[in-house]
Amino acid sequence: MISIDRPSRTADLGDVRVANRAAVLRHLRLHAPCSRADVAARTGLNKATVSSLVGELIEHGLLRETGLTENRVGRPATMLVLDGSRYAGLGLRIGADELVVVAVDLAGERVLTWRRAFATATAGPDETVAALAALARRAINRVTGAGRTVLGLTVGVPGPVDGDGVVPAAPALGWRNVPLAAALRRALRDPGFPIGVDTDANLAVSAELRHGPYAGTADLVHLTGGPTVGVVSGGRLLRGGRGFAGEIGHLPVLPDGPACGCGRRGCLAALVGVDAVVRRLLPDAAQDGPVTDHLPEIERIQALARAGDDPVRTGLTEVGRQLGRAVCVLVDLLDPEVVVLGGHLAALAPWLLPAVRAELADRTLTPPPVAQVEASTLGSEASALGGATAALATVEAGHLPAA
């Protein structure tokens, strides 16, 4: 005998409505503008359900009507789009030499993008949290001053992150066991919205999946040039058993290579990380002290490469080969459709990609067609953009914002 528990049924019906809201929002995100009838036809929901859901979503400021269209058979239809005017998500990125904040509205439009040069590697966790909180407060004030509500904030870090927002180790920052989520929440005095932390690579690959030219690709890898790699497999972010998947930055590429911050030698991060690339190609860069802002140095490398400087071009080719060996491992292991190079690797991609692709063609065991290797078009803000998108995830999953 099967018994029916009335409270459970109510909860189940509520869950169904949440899932149906998510289906409507997802369809509008991908296909707007479209009518209620279009939504019903494409989602499989009946018209009465769609009409009820749309009314609810309009009431909460998540959808809006844009007028009538007559470019169809039958009566003109009222078209719907996502409403980006009321809400925004914030994403922040902690880099070795910068802090970045991005705000995105529900329609996917950027509300703001700010970058602040900051020597995180020498500042220490407390000073970094204070600077991060100051940047976040400024962004929150700008967003709320424009009449929007912040739904959440997510920070990207160059290292693994556990489920409580603690960073166990981030050699690029010199961090160990930093409770970043809790520290930032205190610094912001419990702002009233969720604060999350994730690896910068996970957030960057999420941004590629949503906003990049390969949006919707089921199997995608994003290399930041840092210690972690973001992996989407079968349309889902690959996190591993404890959330630490993707630590390819410490894959040994050259056993007798340069020392790495993790204590080993010849790791990928020690060969193709931004510090390693600047030291290799611009030996004079550190003559006045450690480099604390890499952007000018990367722009200098670009200028020398464009001018045909032989040592720089030769060095970039060798960096591309070393990167290509790691890409071969990823392709053989994960069989992605696309591998995207982000961060400084994207900035230097015109000179890196030929060597990466040649290594992939020569070394991979995966039968053709082999994965595409391309440069990210999202820039150094990819992780922050992914963080802002992640901050909207609860609403996009069908949960209504708090009144």
Indicate the residue type of 75. R
Whether the CB-CB separation of 90 and 102 falls below 8 Å is answered with yes
Residue carrying structure tokens 């020597």: 119
Q: What is the tens place of the pLDDT at every residue in 258-276?
A: 888 777 888 888 888 888 8
Of 128, 123, 121, 127, which is closest to residue 155 (Cα–Cα)?
128
Give the pLDDT confidence of 179-213 residue by residue, as tens digits.
Answer: 999 999 999 999 999 999 999 999 999 999 989 89
Does the reported pTM lie above 0.85? yes
Alpha-helical runs (H) found in 146-237: 180-187, 200-211
User: Is-contact 31 81, C-beta < 8 A?
Assistant: no
Q: Tell me which of 226 and 198 has the higher pLDDT.
A: 198
Task: Dig out the tokens for 360 from the structure.
Answer: 């992939």
At 259, the amino acid letter reads A
Lowest mean pLDDT among 105-114, 153-162, 225-234, 393-402: 225-234
Report CA torsion sign: 7, 9, 15, 20.
negative
- 58-67, 195-204, 222-231, 382-391: range with lowest mean pLDDT: 222-231
Q: How sure is the predictor about 241, in pLDDT bands with cuts at 50, 70 and 90?
A: confident
- Render pLDDT for 6-49 as a digit per residue (tens, 0 to 9): 344 444 656 899 999 999 999 999 889 999 999 999 999 999 99
Which tokens sit at 20? Answer: 């149906």
